[in-house]
Amino acid sequence: MPQRRLFTLSSLALASGLSFIVAGQAAAETAVKGGTLIYLEQQAHTTLYPPAGGFYPNGGLLNQITDKLTWQNPETLQVEPWIADSWSSNADKTEYTFHIRPGVTFSDGTPLDANAVAKNFDVYGLGDKTRRLPVSEVINNYDRSEVIDAQTVKFCFKKSSPGFLQGTATIGSGLVSLSTLARNFDQLGDARHIIGSGPFVVSDEKLGREVDLVARKGYQWGPKNLTQQGPANLDGIKIIVTPEDSVRIGALLAGQADFIRQVQAYDEKQASEQKFPLYAAPTRGVNDSLSFRPDNPLVAELKVRQALLHATDARQIVDTLFSENYPVATSVIAKSAAGYVDLSASLNYDPARAKTLLDEAGWRPGSDGIREKAGKKLALTIYESLPQPQNKEVLQLIAQQWKQVGVQLTVKAGDAGSKTLDNLDPLKTPLTVSEVGRADPDVIKSMFYPLNRDALLQKGGSSSKVQQFRDDKLNALLVNISTEIDPAKRLQLAGEAQRYLLDNAYVIPVFEEPQVFAGAPWLKGLRFEAVGRPSFYGAWLEKR
């Protein structure tokens, strides 16, 4: 059995090392053909419309059944050929031309040619309100496509779009057949409706419980720089939704599963002790954080938000609940993210300062210890985020920390029926859990821009409930990141955005969130794309 491999991700070099070691292992041994991999997933996928693939169960499935125009090398973060053989752009990044690899087909036999690529990005870049298909958050300023010939397509943008090339390598840009594009959003939750060109094809699904994939026999167009070429090694993959953490780890260690996602920190030790490799794949984006909704009068004042930032002890949270795979956040984005700046000096835990700030803001302790002002208590509500690791426990610990400075935080269940609507109402949810992965500076815009994820709930964004709050200076910074064509200036703008978000205490970063998986010792050739989703294309099962 192979030696234990436990990866920490506190730097880009170490994060890159994960991909290198796994790839090196695969190259050193001869792959075994055949077998079905049993993969236990914590949650069921919700939709397989590629631009909504950011939810990890969605992306983990899309990564097996769709291909992308380009491939972002997880070791170097360079964009390399995949379905596109080559590409070029004009100087101001308002036009990109891609030359499509010949002979590629979707699993229904239809061609993946320039026309299909153009149709995909017209939908992803513009959305389709009649079918409820939202615009992709990785595509900015999209105007139109032009099919030059059968294998050449040009994309035109209203403004410079320097992040578009990297965007073509993300889960949100997985290519699907024209019949899939013709469906409405509600139909795209059924995996059997997703026709991609990837190395695996959906053969069956029990909605909410299981998805079965089989290898596509004629597959010949993986990323050009991968060692693996031709069809996948595995015969298939069985993805089984297994919500209970103890059941997933127990099944893996008992040899009943080959791979599991969302290994909780408290289960890491027993996996490593039994020589089951752990994979802490980086997400390289906005850290696991709390974001304020300043339209709520309780958190509208800067001093209140600053107080709560300094009342949060991220080190205690990590030391209590997590392992070395979860570095304490030192900025809005992870150390391995593009444009990261170290702002740890702005994130120091200082309860005395927090109390002083609350006093200055006019919030005085009441008879029960909870601060009051003008007859109102400083009592806040937040919903648990089920995709985030141990999020309920994280929020409960934060609630204990805040209580020490006189602030009440009520944590509501993540599966509550009222959650979706309440999260769009700043009066009901003055805080939300935020995190998003992408190896490009545009990830900051994706999280906070009102027309993207709108974590702060700004006027003109995703919620009609917002009455006043809008920060045009922040929004201008975010737009500038997405349009600046000078790479150095773009990274500088990303740094300015991080500083601005913390200077205004809009967000409380807690830890850098990896995706922690565990595999059986007999699972070989596993890879991860640039933000932590597994790829089973080159994976194989050693005979036992």
pLDDT tens-digit readout, 200-226: 999 999 999 999 999 999 999 999 999
Q: How far is CA 273 from CA 253, 257, 270, in A?
A: 11, 17, 5
pLDDT of residue 28: 56
Angle of the 391-403 helix axis to the 314-321 helix axis, nearest 10: 140
Please compute the mean of the pLDDT values over residues 192-200 and round it to a whole number: 97
Question: Does 96 score more than 80 pLDDT?
Answer: yes
pLDDT band at 348 (very low <50, low <70, confident <90, very high): very high
At 253-294, the pLDDT tens digits run: 999 999 999 999 999 999 999 999 999 988 999 999 999 999
* CA atoms of 403 and 407, how far apart (whole Å): 5
Please compute the mean of the pLDDT values over residues 343-351 and round it to a whole number: 97
Tokens of 442: 């545009």
pLDDT-above-90 percentage for the chain: 92
pLDDT band at 29 (very low <50, low <70, confident <90, very high): confident
Question: Does 464 score more than 50 pLDDT?
Answer: yes
pLDDT of residue 405: 98
Angle of the 245-253 helix axis to the 265-273 helix axis, nearest 10: 10
DSSP 8-class letter at 329: P
pLDDT band at 17 (very low <50, low <70, confident <90, very high): very low
Question: Does 517 score more than 70 pLDDT?
Answer: yes
At 361-409, the pLDDT tens digits run: 999 999 999 999 999 999 999 999 998 999 999 999 999 999 999 999 9
Please compute the mean of the pLDDT values over residues 527-532 and round it to a whole number: 92
At 495-506, the pLDDT tens digits run: 999 999 999 999
Phi, psi for residue 299 in degrees, rounded to 5: -120, 15
pLDDT of residue 336: 93
pLDDT band at 317 (very low <50, low <70, confident <90, very high): very high
Please compute the mean of the pLDDT values over residues 178-186 and round it to a whole number: 97
